[in-house]
Amino acid sequence: MTEREDSPAESAAPSVVLGNDEEQYAIWPAERRIPAGWRLIGGPASAEWCGSQVERLWTDMRPASARAERRLPGSGPGIVPELVRERARHEPSAPAVLSDEGRLTYAELTDQADRLARDLRESGVDAESVVTVCLDRVPELIVALLAVLSSGGAFLPLDPATPQQRIVALVGETSSRVIISSREHAPLFAGCEARILYAGEPATQAPQEKPRPARGPRPDDLAYVIYTSGSTGPPKGVMITHRSLAHSLSVVARAYELTPGDRVLHAAALGFDTSLEQIFATLISGATLVLAGTGTWAPTDLLHRLPEQGITVADLTPAYWHRLVSLADRGDVLSSLRLGIVGGEIVTATDCLAILRRIPGGRLVNAYGLTETTITSTLCDLKEEVLSAPDTAVAPIGRALEGNHIHVLDAELNPVQPGRRGEIYIGGAGLARGIWQQPALTAQQFLPDPHGSAPGDRMYRTGDLGRRRPDGSLEILGRVDDQMKIRGFRVDPAEIEAALASHPEVSQAMVVARSRDNGDRHLIAYYTPAGPPDGGEAALRTRLRSELGEVLPGYMIPAAFHAVEQLPLAPSGKLDRKAVPEPKPAATTADTEDRPVPQGMAQLWSQLLGVDYVRPQDDFFELGGNSLLAMEMLARTRVIFGIGVSQIRELTRSLLRQPMLGAFTESVRQARAGTLAHPEGGSVDFTAETDRRVPAVRHNAPAPHPRHPGDVLLTGATGFCGAYMIDELLRTATGRVLCLVRASDELEGMERLRESHKRYVLSDLFSDRVQPVVGDLGKPGLGLSPGAFEELGSTIDAVYHFGGQVNFIYPYHDLRAANVEGTYEIIRLAADRAVPVHFTSSMAVLAGFGPAGVREVTENTPLRFPEYLSVGYVESKWVGEALLKKASDAGLPVAIHRLMDITGGSTTGVMNTSSEMAALFGFIARTGLCPDVRLPLDFLPADHLARAIGHISTHHPARGEVYHLTNPRPTLLDSLAERLRRRGYPVQAIPYAEWIAALVKYAAGHPTDPITPFVPLFVDRCARADMTVSEMYFQGVFTEFTRDNAERALADAGIDTPPVDAMMDGYIDYLQQADYVRPVKNQEQGASRW
């Protein structure tokens, strides 16, 4: 196949080779007039002869002025590294990058990038050197890209999800001698003759080939090489210079009206050039870049993240916007956005109107451009009147941005009249240098511009068909050739066909694109088998999908594979893509397993894929799945079944390798146990976890007086209980209340404290005695410098350790850093002066006693039976208690406070709406379904808890005692159901197994519902007993416990906690006011509603 489907006559027409003053070359039809600024170099001759001439002549594809190190007049805006440094000079402490993995100010970003740039130059990087960058979406990625630009080299951005064979080939093709990556991704480069620099680690000195001058890049130096799908099979590398990049970014930043107050989402894949616009247009504007996770956030995740992160600008593909808007069931979830950007493929006016309605007062633009024209060339403001105009089925792409020239031309390269269709050509300042090491292909695609602003100008033939509307804006109508856009990625089917045809079991292959009813486009592969397939057609399809996944990115993997006897041909002898019939999905029957996890997965797949039933042997992609739907399915699976973050990457790979429901469900089960990615990491070795030496307790300084503490340290101060504890400590302590908080600085830390206090306690926090300590419980030394850690330990008179990662879903190993290592660091902090530690634990650490046959425990009963616990959070509390017991035995003053469910303040009724109990309240109210079980409800108001701990800590020496701080008068779940019935909620009690089935089905269809993250508590099996984790807490299973220590210690505290029944109505009132418990929408009973 050729680059585009020219007719045989056109391909055979004689051509000439032209050149301009910059010694750039073009292959041009011999019969056409030579444009101004171009001269004849050779020909007329065949296109093949002209191509060979260009290959011989154009050995250095830099413009002549760049080779001579001369600057062209009017060099335009400064290069990108200098524009970013300028921002850092003006606002060094402004946030540049935010992510779950860390954050960077502008000063930190540029300092780190400059250090890495020096390392790169010392490694031999200079102008035109290509440096491979392959990192997840973490702050180190941004540092690496900026460092390469600053070093004078050019980067080759590769997404870590790229198949290894493709990575190795591209690194070799670009002669990349230096790679910036992580230790996790280093195996991808096995076989590459290049040095790896590990991001975030100091460089080890490498011998220099020759000294490199420490100069920055010139405007016409190469900035990056990025690969797009190539129609002759292999991908092609597009070369972009600093001049083109700086121009494009500066123009688009002005068009988007980016300011330092913006928070811009970075969600595009690294191998996709839109990601570079998202990164650098943000940074040259002084705005804040918000990284969308190491694995891109699915639409379900993004709905939470937009308001959470205060994101104001989001650039997403049409398919992603479509999913996002369809999930946005509340009108305010997109309200943080002031600018939505849609682009990458044709988008319908209907979809754009739906987006506009979700961002009232916001702005929506359609961005159009190509890799060869440096990302964005045109923009259209999609106002309602534009989208509602007659003859507007698709959204227009608008007009050329400053410095770009857009031509709509006929076959003779003459401009067509408005309203008439023609092919789109783009010229101007954003034009790429050309195609890496392919001068003949560059000469075919980058042509003389007869309509340019200056003699010798070039233009790029886009292959897109378009027309100008009456208002002058441009509209895309389709493609001239076979290339297509799949979820924003440019795909040429020939590359996929070549990969398929190389498989020994495939004779011929053809790939086409199809659209679903919802507008999503997906790829379908038709092939002729080379012989009878081993194991049958289904087995061959699985092998083809798996092996394509080794050489092609995920968006290029066909959704379906169909074997045919022969492929249809057009009269020209070429494949006739229009002649293949629409494939019909296989009929399915309802034979799904009835266990909760398989049943839930089947329900989730059927809802996302729009099919009635899914069987264990059904293939996700054969049923209509694609990469975006897979992303959403994986996100919902992670939430519903509580998959730990360490398992997500391997779970994604398992879907590509074995996309059948039954196989994937088994992978989910392993991921839940933490054994999919790391088989050794699933079970917890409690002996090893607790068999560690605790720091020696010293008494060098006078011990703090427990009744009159001065400064105190509170962890977990932004949490529900911590917010109430601040008030109690202001009352009982005489000094400062130092609150460990994660933040970029003290100002943000104080703001977080105030926000949580106002949310939970319903009062402002103005006391100057409350001071944030910026740190992190999950990092060594609490995230403090050694000096700050030592100073804190010498200052405080007590530690109230409320902090931790509270997640009842993640496995132990995902919570260990904050909950176990954090507790160890608290012990280390307190040991030097024997500072008392008051630790909040959970009554759930006793859950193993019941299944093990122990019917009653006291507060003095030694902890045992951790192997039964089966919940990572509870396991981490068990280990934390064990470490504190060892520290207490070594002489550290310790008190352990075990809690059941902590609920709203006794006077306000405010509940923690992120708790499992609030979620259960809401689910029962919304569905009218309550499990018929004896589940105890043991609620203690948060203000009573704070008063109790404050009283115990100042009136009773900490000598290792355990206190069961629970409500002496609990009730059962049926009491909640009865109170809801009295308020008109049609709640019915159903058998527990039926309720679980309804819960799983509901969660599959409601991924953002508060109950969904807690589903694993109801479906996971206990590790050592034949019951689910939730059944361990039923009355009659959970061991009886006493409260003697707590009752004695609080006898004179004056705390009168009312019975749970007396508090229930107040909590329901609060949840109703918060619109958290809504009545059933219809009176139909049972699970059939979902």
CA 815 – CA 879 distance, rounded (Å) = 12
Q: What average pLDDT does range 497-511 have in this prediction?
A: 81
Separation in Å, CA 25 to CA 448, 745, 782, 942: 9, 55, 61, 76
**DSSP of 236-257, one letter per residue?**
EEEEEEHHHHHHHHHHHHHHHT
Contact 239, 372 (CB under 8 A): no
- Does the pLDDT value for residue 1080 go beyond 80? no
Strand partners, 525: 511, 561
Are the C-beta atoms of residues 585 and 618 closer than 8 Å to each other? no
pLDDT band at 1083 (very low <50, low <70, confident <90, very high): very low
Mean pLDDT, residues 1001-1019:
78
Q: In the prediction, which pLDDT does 923 show?
A: 92
Length of the chain: 1090
CATH 1.10.1200.10 intervals, the chain: 596-679
Instruction: Give the pLDDT confidence score for residue 574 in this predicted structure.
Output: 52
How far apart are alpha carbons 786 and 474 in whole angstroms? 61
Instruction: For the chain, give the mean pLDDT.
Output: 85
Residues 735/743, Cβ–Cβ less than 8 Å = no
The angle formed by the CA atoms of residues 339, 491 and 457, to the nearest 5 degrees, is 75
The more confidently predicted of residues 502 and 459 is 459
Nearest one of 236, 266, 599, 263 to 441, comparing CA atoms? 236
Residue 398: is its pLDDT beyond 70?
yes
Q: What pLDDT digit, counting tens, does each position of 101-115 carry?
A: 889 999 999 999 999
Asked whether 321 and 342 are in contact (CB, 8 A), the reply is: yes
Q: Is the pLDDT of residue 237 over 80?
A: yes
The confidence band for 913, taking pLDDT boundaries of 50, 70 and 90, is confident
- Residue 853 has, within 13 A of its CA and on its CB side, a CA count of 0
Q: CATH number of 596-679: 3.30.540.10, 3.10.20.740, 1.10.1200.10, 1.25.40.10? A: 1.10.1200.10
Enumerate residues 6+ apart whose C-beta is below 8 A from 409: 415, 416, 422, 423, 425
pLDDT given for residue 907 in this prediction: 82
* Residue 179 dihedral angles phi and psi, to the nearest 5°: -125, 130
Q: From 1.10.10.10, 3.90.420.10, 3.40.1380.10, 3.40.50.720, which CATH number describes the 706-1052+1064-1073 domain?
A: 3.40.50.720
- Nearest CA to 905 among 950, 943, 948? 943
3-state SS class at 1088: helix
The CA-CA-CA angle for residues 347, 348, 352, to 5°, reads 90
| Contact between 366 and 342 (Cβ < 8 Å) | yes
* CATH 3.40.50.720, the chain: domain bounds: 706-1052+1064-1073
**What tokens does 166 get?**
């493709």
Q: Are 930 and 973 in contact (CB under 8 A)?
A: yes
What is the rounded (10 degree) CA torsion for 256, 258, 262, 267?
Answer: 50
pLDDT > 70? residue 436: yes
The residue-averaged pLDDT of 442-460 equals 94
- 132, 95 contact by CB (below 8 A): no
pLDDT bin (cut points 50, 70, 90) of residue 656 is confident
CATH number of the domain at 498-565, please? 3.30.300.30
The reported pLDDT for the residue numbered 881 is: 96
Give the percent of the chain with pLDDT over 90. 49
Sorting pLDDT into bands at 50, 70 and 90, what band is 230?
low
Where do the CATH 3.30.300.30 domains begin and end in the chain? Answer: 498-565
Q: Name the least confident of 353-367, 393-407, 619-633.
A: 619-633
Distance CA 556, CA 490 (A): 9
Q: What is the pLDDT of residue 864?
A: 94
pLDDT range class, residue 232, cuts 50, 70, 90: very low
Q: How confident is the model at residue 863 (pLDDT cuts 50, 70, 90)?
A: very high
Does residue 425 contact residue 462 with C-beta atoms inside 8 Å? yes
The whole-number average pLDDT for the span 697-724 is 84
Residue scoring higher pLDDT (748 or 596)? 748
Per DSSP, the three-state class of 880 is helix
Q: How confident is the model at residue 265 (pLDDT cuts 50, 70, 90)?
A: very high
Per-residue pLDDT, 44 = 94
pLDDT grade, residue 588 (50/70/90)? very low
* Torsion angle of C-alpha atoms 52, 55, 57, 60, degrees rounded to 10: 180
Which pLDDT band, with edges at 50, 70 and 90, does 595 fall under? low
Closest to 420 in 3D by CA, of 410, 432, 406: 410
| Rounded CA separation 112/873 (Å) | 36
Mean pLDDT, residues 918-935 taken together: 91
**pLDDT band per the 50, 70, 90 thresholds, residue 174:** very high
- Count the neighbouring beta carbons within 10 Å of the beta carbon of residue 291: 26
- For residue range 6-36, what is the model confidence (pLDDT) as tens digits? 433 344 689 999 999 999 999 999 999 999 9
Quick check: 380 pLDDT over 50?
yes
Q: Please state the rounded mean pLDDT for residues 45-57.
A: 94
**DSSP for 556-570?**
GS-SEEEE-SS--B-
Q: Which of 168-177, 446-455, 685-694 has the lowest mean pLDDT?
A: 685-694
Q: How confident is residue 770, by pLDDT bands cut at 50, 70 and 90? A: very high
Q: If pLDDT is split at 50, 70 and 90, which confidence band does 776 have?
A: very high
The reported pLDDT for the residue numbered 542 is 80
Q: What is the pLDDT of residue 677?
A: 64
- More confident call, 17 vs 672: 17
pLDDT at 173 over 70: yes
Is pTM beyond 0.75 here?
no
How high is the pLDDT of residue 213? Answer: 46
Mean pLDDT of 546-559: 80
State mean pLDDT over 73-83: 69
Q: What is the mean pLDDT of residues 371-376?
A: 94
Nearest to 488 by CA among 340, 268, 166, 225: 268
Average pLDDT over residues 388-409: 87
The answer, yes or no, to whether residue 217 has pLDDT greater than 90, is: no
